[in-house]
Amino acid sequence: MSFVDVQDSTATNSITAASSKDSGNNTNWIFSATTITWDGSTDTTWNTAANWDLGYVPNITDNIVIANVANSPLLTLAVTVNDLTINTNAVLDLDTYDLTMTGTLSNDGTLRLIGSQTLTGVSFDANSGTTEYYGAATAVIMGDNTYYNLTCATAGKELDFEAGKTTIIINQLTLTGAAGNLIKIRSTTTGTQAKINPQGLGLLRNVSFVDVKDSNNINGTTINPLTSTDSGNTLNWFPVASSSEGEGLTEGQRDEATRQADDNYGIGSAETPGPGQGLPDDVAMASGSDLVSEVEYNQYGFDNTNYEEGDEEGPKYAEEKLLTSGQSATEEGTIPEAEKEKQAGYGFDIIKLEQQTNKYAKSYIPAKYRSKITAIKGEFDVSPYNESKGADYKNKTILKQGENLIIEK
């Protein structure tokens, strides 16, 4: 027997129905597993019979194939299937609904989900395809999982990975939030790290505008998320440059950089501002930036001598600036007038050698309560700066491309 739709039926003897619909309340009927393909003939609704090639909504024992068609399926209720195959360039969107599988997931396309639902018996395809988390709700990712491609590009979304478990990404990892609306990477247990192992390198790691906490990158290569926040208890996420004597620019090169800056010869800027001069936002945010400087102010400033016993931290003021060669991130106007004197005069002397022209760019970045400097392009000679004493080149840091320098006082 085949191609029947059965409901409210009791068979005296067992009956096997192939390519048939079990509409419920049936006894002694056996509905054999059938492969049924989504063709989206009518709309995107899973529960519409006309959207399936056999003309009925799949049984829980059926094997499902999602074809690459104009109307991709969108769940409007929880479903149970046996095997699930998503063809190349095809998309299955679970939205917030639960998926239960008794067979195998083969994903050559894209599986989209909010991540707040329950997945039962689902093992992500580690050989191909993309799993994409989207939407405003927090995604909770439980257990050890292996993805081929893992993507989240929803600004402000939070991804919570189970504490102590490992998430492996074989190929492409994409986590891209937005300025002022970072994607949060968290563990399900505060203070206990979740593990991540992104095995793709270089362009296969597209990570920016993220806020990371309680995460251990167990891969041998550090993740370097641009314009991002380290909220603590992270490992191998944010590279920190090391200070080394005898590397970087020579004394003569530094003198030449200063001379060129004084002669208004700085690369990427007609003028090299000094401490306290300030820089308009439209200049500081110029494209093609070489550096990102993130500074956090407090009312006592950077210099330790400004602290007195019994003082408490004052209010903080966040600032993020992009700098091209020769530009400065000094923005004294963002500090209350009464605090300017306490803040002025301490910072970083930064010099970059432009290899193609053999010319130098010299910049100044003020040091505040917390300063983070990131080399986006090129290599920089970063030295502590005191307005009364000048730059302390003996304690310089060589900041190479992709590295961060974080100073907290």
Provide the pLDDT for residue 276.
31
Identify whether 242 is part of a domain. no
Same domain, 230 and 179: yes
Which residues contact residue 310 at a Cβ distance below 8 angstroms, ignoring those fewer than 6 apart?
none
Identify whether 241 is part of a domain. no
Radius of gyration (C-alpha) of the chain in whole angstroms:
29
Q: Are strands 397-399 and 380-386 parallel, antiparallel or unpaired?
A: antiparallel
* pLDDT greater at residue 218 or residue 370: 218
pLDDT band per the 50, 70, 90 thresholds, residue 5: confident
Q: Which helix (H) or strand (E) holds 341?
A: helix 340-343
Which residues contact residue 256 at a Cβ distance below 8 angstroms, ignoring those fewer than 6 apart?
360
- What is the C-alpha separation between 244 and 396, in angstroms, rounded? 7
Range of the domain at 159: 33-235
Same domain, 17 and 86: no
Task: Supply the mean pLDDT for the chain.
Answer: 73
- What is the C-alpha separation between 5 and 21, in angstroms, rounded? 5
Quick: pLDDT tens for 267-301: 333 233 333 333 222 222 222 344 444 444 333 33
Provide the pLDDT for residue 27.
81
Provide the pLDDT for residue 249.
53
Same domain, 68 and 214: yes
Quick: pLDDT tens for 6-19: 677 776 777 766 66
Same domain, 189 and 55: yes
Identify whether 243 is part of a domain. no
Residue 89 has pLDDT above 80, yes or no: yes
Residue 151 has pLDDT above 80, yes or no: yes
Q: Say how many residues make up the chain.
A: 409
DSSP state of 161: E
Q: How many CA atoms does the CB half-sphere of 192 hold within 13 Å?
A: 9
Quickly list H helices, 214-250: none
Provide the pLDDT for residue 226.
84
Identify whether 148 is part of a domain. yes
Same domain, 21 and 45: no
pLDDT band per the 50, 70, 90 thresholds, residue 169: very high
Same domain, 210 and 286: no
Same domain, 12 and 93: no
Identify whether 261 is part of a domain. yes
pLDDT band per the 50, 70, 90 thresholds, residue 88: very high
Residue 25 has pLDDT above 90, yes or no: no
Provide the pLDDT for residue 22.
72
Identify whether 172 is part of a domain. yes
Amino acid at site 333: G
pLDDT band per the 50, 70, 90 thresholds, residue 321: very low
Same domain, 194 and 271: no
The DSSP bridge partners found for residue 146 are 168
Total domains, the chain: 3
Domain boundary among 235, 266, 285: 235
Same domain, 117 and 197: yes
Quick: pLDDT tens for 104-146: 999 999 999 999 999 999 999 999 999 999 999 999 999 999 9
Provide the pLDDT for residue 307.
29
Identify whether 65 is part of a domain. yes
Same domain, 173 and 281: no
* pLDDT greater at residue 386 or residue 192: 192
pLDDT band per the 50, 70, 90 thresholds, residue 243: very low
For range 371-380, the mean pLDDT: 62
Residue 338 has pLDDT above 80, yes or no: no
The strand order across the sheet containing 145-147 reads 145-147, 166-169, 194-198, 215-217, 234-235
Quick: pLDDT tens for 41-79: 999 999 999 999 999 999 889 999 999 999 999 999 999
Q: How many CA atoms does the CB half-sphere of 294 hold within 13 Å?
A: 15
Provide the pLDDT for residue 227.
86
Contacts of the segment 300-303: beta carbons below 8 A, 24+ positions apart: 300/342, 300/369, 301/339, 301/342, 301/343, 301/346, 301/368, 301/369, 302/343, 302/346, 302/347, 302/366, 302/367, 302/368, 302/369, 302/371, 302/409, 303/345, 303/346, 303/386, 303/409
For range 306-322, the mean pLDDT: 36
Provide the pLDDT for residue 220.
78
Identify whether 245 is part of a domain. no
pLDDT band per the 50, 70, 90 thresholds, residue 202: confident
pLDDT band per the 50, 70, 90 thresholds, residue 174: very high
pLDDT band per the 50, 70, 90 thresholds, residue 242: very low
For range 168-172, the mean pLDDT: 96
For range 174-201, the mean pLDDT: 94
* Paired tokens of 48: 């519409």
Sign of the C-alpha dihedral, residues 119, 122, 123, 128? negative
Same domain, 119 and 195: yes
Same domain, 266 and 382: yes
- What is the C-alpha separation between 310 and 157, in angstroms, rounded? 40
For range 178-204, the mean pLDDT: 93
Which residues contact residue 358 at a Cβ distance below 8 angstroms, ignoring those fewer than 6 apart?
none
CA nearest 242: which of 386, 378, 404? Answer: 404
Let me know: does 107 contact 127? Beta carbons within 8 Å.
Answer: no
Which residues contact residue 145 at a Cβ distance below 8 angstroms, ignoring those fewer than 6 apart?
124, 165, 167, 168
Provide the pLDDT for residue 310.
34
Provide the pLDDT for residue 380.
66
Q: Which residues of 336-373 are buried (b: 16+ CB within 10 A; e: fewer)?
A: eeebeebbbbbbbbbbbbbeeeebbbbbbbbbbbbbbb
The DSSP bridge partners found for residue 151 are 132, 174
CA nearest 175: which of 136, 137, 140, 133? Answer: 133
Provide the pLDDT for residue 315.
33
Model's pTM, two decimal places? 0.58
